[in-house]
Amino acid sequence: MNHTKPGQKLSKSFYQRSALKVAAELLGKIFVKRDGRKVLSGIIVEVEAYIGSIDQAAHSFRGKTKRNQVMFNKGGCLYVYFTYGNHFCCNVVTGKEEEGDAVLIRAIQPIDGIDRMMLNRFGKKSISPKEKLNLTNGPGKICSAFDINSKHNGIDLTGNEIFILNNKKISESEIVTTTRIGIKKSTELLWRFYIKDNPFISRK
């Protein structure tokens, strides 16, 4: 199904499908945040799917709470949570209302607004090539670089502040599927997807 044209915002219908399908198709899409007059953007290169009804690692597995209630919205909004006492993570809510499914954005290849991302992450405008690869290669790093926090929890991804643009589809041969990172339950599920040989992923 063609949900939108290349270069346009992804439509609600894109998000209101299976988390696994959305996760794989988010690879290669362009994540955008408007920060005043500044635009920060990057290519999504690594994601993880979480399906609340069957996935013990999902925040929604044990039902709706004040913390995870945004996960139970209809697909097409951002679920932002604070973790490990020091950073935020952002997720794309997927599927139908009350399903509790989402896709964690794990790594992004930066495109626009890199100077602002560097200031947000490192407090400086000049960084080494190694630091550039380290700029957005993890979920907490993405939120730091893009300055995403709890005030963005629940934001509509078809709005004008944070959204995702369609881009060329990544072929199946370019997508690597593995187990997810940093979880202790449902560890056998192959629900992590990343673009093969992309230097901006968090790890192979």
Determine the 3-state secondary structure of 50 from DSSP. Answer: strand
Q: Who contacts 107 (Cβ-Cβ below 8 Å, separation ≥6)?
A: 44, 45, 46, 136, 137, 138, 139, 142, 194, 198, 200, 201, 202
Q: Give pLDDT, residue 3.
A: 65
Can you tell me the distance from the alpha carbon of 109 to that of 200, in angstroms, rounded to the nearest whole number?
A: 6
What's the CA gap between 155 and 76, in Å, rounded? 9
Identify the pLDDT of residue 68. Answer: 87
Distance CA 63, CA 46 (A): 27
User: What is the pLDDT, as a whole number, of residue 16?
Assistant: 98
Residue 67: per-residue pLDDT = 85
Domains and CATH numbers, the chain: 12-195 (3.10.300.10)
Q: Record the tokens describing residue 144, joined without a space.
A: 């730091």
What does each of the 204 residues of the chain score in pLDDT, given as a tens digit?
A: 556 777 899 999 999 999 999 999 999 999 999 978 899 999 999 999 999 888 888 888 887 888 889 999 999 999 999 987 789 999 999 999 999 999 999 999 999 999 999 999 999 988 888 888 999 999 999 999 999 999 999 999 999 999 999 999 999 999 999 999 988 999 999 999 999 999 999 998
pLDDT at position 115, please?
A: 93
